[in-house]
């Protein structure tokens, strides 16, 4: 059995369009003259709503407001984001033999709504969201303490789509799995030297079948 920690945006949830739209809308409301593009997300050293706002040239004193308004838009959507093709089935299969959790810069409320919408809420043991204290590294460590006491490093994984996910996994002394379908490019992810790379949800099953 392994402990598998998933990032949310760009790994489970296809939120690229929402991130660009909501980021642009909030910039417009705050009077920030910047056009949001995927390059803004790809260039981030740390993937978070706060760093995204800074990248979009939101003044420092307005960054917290930028984050609040973006998260509010996700919560107010009529329906949660789409799940990437094939991932719901993969999550169900992985949950049969592993403990699964989500560590994310999005809110716990938004993640839980997504999990319920796509029928995988019972597969996820815990959600560590932006509304909970601590850095991503600290939340990874907390999850490890709660679900994998005594497990070796080789049994705990962070599945992410950003350079900061890979770095957080390394700092927390667990294995990193980079996914090629998320918000940052594969070349960007490879600069962080992930332990594993997968190009499709099916490859996640193949990876963990061999563990």
pTM: 0.89
CA–CA separation, 209 and 211 (whole Å): 6
Residue 116 three-state SS: helix
DSSP character at residue 9: B
Give me the mean pLDDT over the 162-188 stretch.
Answer: 95
Distances (CA, A) of 15 to 66, 135, 202: 17, 22, 20
Report d(CA 1, CA 155) in Å as an integer.
7
Give the separation between CA 14 and CA 36, rounded to whole angstroms: 17
β-pairing, 156-160 vs 126-128, is unpaired
- Better-predicted residue by pLDDT, 155 or 160: 160
For 20-24, 47-51, 150-154, 196-200, which range has the lowest pLDDT when averaged over its residues?
150-154
Instruction: Read off the pLDDT of each residue in 68-88 and give the average, rounded to a whole number.
Output: 93
Q: Which residues lie across from 13 on neighbouring strands?
A: 9, 83
Q: How confident is the model at residue 210, as a pLDDT?
A: 67
Per CATH, which fold does 3-14+80-209 belong to?
Answer: Rossmann fold (3.40.50)
């Amino acid at each position: 059995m392994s402990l598998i920690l998933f990032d949310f945006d760009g790994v489970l949830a296809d939120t690229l369009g929402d991130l660009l739209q909501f980021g642009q809308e909030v910039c417009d409301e705050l009077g920030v003259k910047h056009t949001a593009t995927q390059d803004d997300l790809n260039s981030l050293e740390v993937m978070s709503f706060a760093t995204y706002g800074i990248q979009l040239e939101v003044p420092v004193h307005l960054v917290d407001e930028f984050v609040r308004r973006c998260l509010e838009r996700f919560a107010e959507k009529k329906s949660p984001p789409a799940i990437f093709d094939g991932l719901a089935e993969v999550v169900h299969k992985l949950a049969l033999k592993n403990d699964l959790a989500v560590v994310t810069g999005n809110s716990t409320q938004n993640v839980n709504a997504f999990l319920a919408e796509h029928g995988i809420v019972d597969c996820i043991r815990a959600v560590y969201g932006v509304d909970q204290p601590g850095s991503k590294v600290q939340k990874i460590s907390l999850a490890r303490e709660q679900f994998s006491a005594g497990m070796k490093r080789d049994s705990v994984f962070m599945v992410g789509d950003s350079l900061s996910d890979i770095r957080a996994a390394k700092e927390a002394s667990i294995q990193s799995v980079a996914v090629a379908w998320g918000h940052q490019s594969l070349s960007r992810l490879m600069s962080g030297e992930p332990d594993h790379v997968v190009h499709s949800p099916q490859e996640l099953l193949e990876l963990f079948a061999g563990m």
